[in-house]
């Protein structure tokens, strides 16, 4: 059976730097969960947590606030103050 496709393509990358101890822990957890690799295990942890956070009202309010700010930023023209030279 083919893997289901997401309606949103994966178009962002994330680089995570771990200490040696953190990496060892991740490898052990991936092995115990029978994941294909530590990367797959980390991906599943992160996506599950993001799915849980998507329903949080505070997160939804923050997303709406950021979208409104971005929409204003693309439509408003900012006028910078004119700097005059001395003697003008």
* Residue 1 banded pLDDT, cuts 50, 70, 90: low
Burial code (b: 16+ CB inside 10 Å, e: under 16) for 17-47 equals: eeeeeeeeebeeebeeeebeebeebbeeeee
Q: What is the pLDDT of residues 15-60, one digit of tens each?
A: 999 999 999 999 999 999 999 999 999 999 999 999 999 999 999 9
Per-residue model confidence (pLDDT) at position 24: 96
Confidence of residue 78 (pLDDT cuts 50, 70, 90): low
Q: Which two tokens stand for residue 81?
A: 């103050």
Has residue 11 got a pLDDT over 90? no
Domains of the chain by residue range: 20-75
Rounded Cα distance, 54 and 52, in Å: 6
Query: According to the model, what pLDDT value does residue 88 have?
Result: 59
């Amino acid at each position: 059976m083919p893997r289901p496709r997401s309606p949103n393509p994966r178009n962002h990358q994330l680089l995570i730097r771990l200490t040696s101890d953190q990496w060892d822990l991740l490898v052990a957890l991936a092995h115990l969960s029978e994941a294909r690799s530590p990367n797959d295990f980390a991906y599943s942890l992160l996506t599950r947590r993001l799915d849980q956070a998507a329903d949080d009202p505070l997160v939804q309010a923050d997303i709406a606030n950021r979208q409104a700010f971005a929409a204003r930023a693309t439509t408003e023209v900012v006028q910078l103050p004119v700097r005059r030279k001395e003697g003008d």
